[in-house]
Amino acid sequence: MNKNLPVSNNNTGSGILPEKLNRKKFFVFTGLAALGIAAASVIPFNLFRSNTPKPAASLKIKENPNAVKRKSKEANSELNNG
């Protein structure tokens, strides 16, 4: 290495590399996390849901019972069209 090349003295690896995590701690942590997820997926959170009913539609559509439905869209050939 050429000593004349400008090299920073600041970014040595010493500050960046985290301290090694204890292997045991890691497995304990991930194991508990997995258990937690499994438990959460089983617990019926629905019990906690408040059953507010949906606001009922204020408009009610009602067919008129006396209206006569037309059988087809086509012209009625029997009708005497003037």
Partner 1 sequence: MKNFLIDYNLKVRLPILLFVVLAVFAITYYVSYAERVGVGYQPVQPIAYSHKLHAGDLKIDCRYCHSDVEKSRHANIPSPKVCMNCHSIARKDRPEIIKLTDYYTRGIPIEWKRIHRVPDFAYFNHSVHVNKGIDCSNCHGDIAAMEVVEQVKDFSMRACLDCHRNPDQTIKNITPGKDKKLINNGPTNCSACHR
Partner 2 sequence: MDKKYIDISENIIEENKELIPAPSASSDGSDEPKDINYWRSFRELYNDPSFRKEKSMEFHPGELDKPDLNTFSKFSRRKFLALLSASAAVAASGCSNYRDKGELIPYNKKPESVTVGNPTYYASTCTGCSSACGILIKTLDGRPVKVDGNPDHPVSKGKICAIGQASVMSLYDPERLKNPVERVNRVSPNNMDWKTADEKIIAELKSAAASGKEISVITHTVNSPSLKKLFDEFAKAYPTAKVYSYELFEDTPRNSAWEKCYGSKNYPLISWDKANIILSLESDFLGNEGNKVETSRLYTSGRDAINGKEFNRLYSVEGNASVTGMNSDYRLILKTDAIEEFVMCLLNELAGKEKISSYSSDAGIMSKLQSFNLKSFAEKYNLSEEVINHLVSDLKKNQGASYVSAGSMLPESTHIAVNMLNEVLGNSALYKKEVSNVKVMPLSTREELENLVSDLNSGKTTVVIHYDSNPVYHLPPDLGYADAVKKAKTIVSLSESDNESSNAGNYVLPVNSMFESWGDYQTRNNFFSLQQPVIAPIYNNRQKEDILMTWISGNPDSYNSDSYHKFVMDNWKANILSSAGTDSDFNRAWYAGLNDGVVMVSKKEAAAQEGENVPAPEVFNPASFVSNTSSMRSKDGFSLLLIKSGALGDGRHANNGWLQELPKPVSRIVWDNYAAISVQSAKALGVDSNDNISITTQSGKMDIPVFVQPGMADGVLAIELGYGRTVCGTVGLDAGFNANVLMTKNPALSRWFYNDVKAEKSSGKYELVSVQDQYPMDEPLYKDIQYRREIIQEGTYLQFKENPDFLHDRHTKYSEEETFKLKVGSINEQYKHTGTKWGMVIDLNKCIGCNECVAACSVENNIPVVGKEQAKKHRSMQWIRIDRYYSGTPETPKASFQPMLCQHCDFAPCENVCPVAATTHSADGINGMAYNRCVGTRYCSNNCPYKVRRFNYFNFRDHFKDGIQLEESFTLMQNPEVTVRSRGVMEKCTFCLQRIMDERQMAIQENRQVKGSNVKTACQEACNTNAISFGDQNDKESDIFKLNNSKLAYHVLEEIKVKPNVTYLAKLRNVYEIEKEEAHH
Binding region for partner 2 (CB under 8 A):
40, 45-46, 48-49, 57-59, 61-64, 66-76, 79-82
Q: What is the DSSP string of 8-59?
A: -SS--TTTTSPPPPPHHHHHHHHHHHHHHHHHHHHS-GGGGS--PPPPPPS-
Nearest to partner 1 of 16, 59 (CB atom)? 16
- Within residues 1-60, the interface with partner 1 by CB under 8 A covers 1, 7, 13, 16-17
What is the smallest separation between the CB atom of 48 and partner 2, expressed in angstroms? 5
Residue ranges binding partner 1 (CB under 8 A)? 1, 7, 13, 16-17
